[in-house]
Chains A and B, each alone.
Chain A
Amino acid sequence: MYKLLTWLGGIAVALFVPFYLEGFWLQAGLFTMSAAIGAIGINLLTGATGQLSLGHAFFLAVGAYAYVYFAAEPEGHLAGLNLPTPLAAVLAVIVAGIAGGLFSPIAGRLKGAYLGIATLALIFLGQHLLFNAEPLTGGYNGRAVPPMELFGLVFADTPELVILNVPFGVLERLWFLGLAVLLVAAWFAKGVLRGRPGRAMNTIRDHEIAAGVMGVPVGRYRAGVFVLSSMYAGAAGVMLALVFQRTVPEYFGMLLSLDYLAMIVIGGLGSVAGAVVGAVFVSFLPQLLTRYSDALPLVAEPGSGGVSPAEAARILYGAAVVAVVLFLPGGLLGLATRIRLAVTRRVQLPAELTPSPDSRS
């Protein structure tokens, strides 16, 4: 009951956010939501199954570019299929899944950090493809992303829409879409983790041989989780493309993959909530530092020679990854649980220890 109320309260607050916050925060929030979707995906793979992947950025790129390709009208040398946008988004997620499936002969057979290096190949081959397959990707300059259109509502600044005296631009409209996709993604992942597949995945992570002995088809599970995680990345890629309104190949490099790994380690490995917490931490940090760079010591304006906000954020969360593993097993989420336990114990213990007035006589 208590849990349900917190959930409802959280969703209600999230629904009212676009009516009060300015564009900057909305955009940061939307990035966070997209990142959270991708982070949930990689947490299923790395956190729950113990398979390291550095190729997440590649699947984000597949999702983003597939959406653009399916939805865009063909124009000049750029190809496009001009499909209805919701269909394009679904197809993009499926294409990302297929891309993950194509890698499954490797993803199913390699384990742990070994797979991590193998997936580096995806990043570099992916970058090569993105820069060279110009009719699909627009090459170096990238492509414009056609806005999503759902039941007659266009997710763009035009036509104008005013709700409760608040002008609803592209960010406000996308906010609700992002929230819905994130909730569905989180709900599905929770289901996977809580059920039979989740137990199998955790057993593979903890003891591969034991898992095999218990009848878990280890290779098939590894490949399957890899596909699922790439579909999550694909969905995150579509969301990112919609928020950015332009896709550029450079963005989908190795650093992006590292960001996602940092998110799940900082938030907490193996859980949906951990992925979301980590996504908030890693994607909000640079924005916060940029916004308040003049008020912070040590952080300089971009281009002035000092530590720029982006670099400061990078160093901070790199250090956070190390610190979390050393001092906070379980990540920020684990810390929150520990604090909650400590607090409730302190509240309950004295009540049990001091005898009640009735029993004293």
Chain B
Amino acid sequence: MPMGHATAEAISPDGGHASQLEAIRSDMLRFALLQLRDKPAAEDAVQEALAAAWEGLGRFDGRGSFKSWVYAILRYKIIDRIRQRSREPIAEIDPGAGFDALFDRRGFWLPEERPADWGDPLQELENAQFWRIFDACLNRLPKGTARVFMMREFLGLETGEICQELGMKANHCWVVLHRARMGLRLCLESDWFESGRGGYVEL
């Protein structure tokens, strides 16, 4: 198919096409899998996004990177799947449970639960070990909570759009997003920032 050549050209004019495409595909799969938590569904979404990218190659103007373009398509494919699933009821989120234990009776942080100073956490973004912990923490969030959080932070949807897609009230959406952040920060603090930041201390 002549298209194949065109796709490869779009990814990189100077060679290494197949391996680049494979690397993008594997990133896309990880991206989709984190959000859908269902391997066949994630693989389908990636496949469809790549196929759509392939077909629409003529519309790719080459100004942005091929990767951002194919990710823009992947976002739609993921949202499609979430929309299909939103008809299945999300397990109801228990409004009070979980984080009350971090606060005293007046609602102030208990001394041992007070959020710590993470220093300059941006340097962690280069650390593969950090990302392993980050993904594990994401996967530990309840499914419905994680779904809302990732629509907000991975897919970049506005809260109003999320509510609409999932048929939730805005207020409920905010509560769920807050619970996701509380859960994720607690997990990262205990499993990364306060535990020697991964591999360093094990040496």
A and B from one assembly? no
Interface set of A (CB-CB < 8 Å, partner B): none
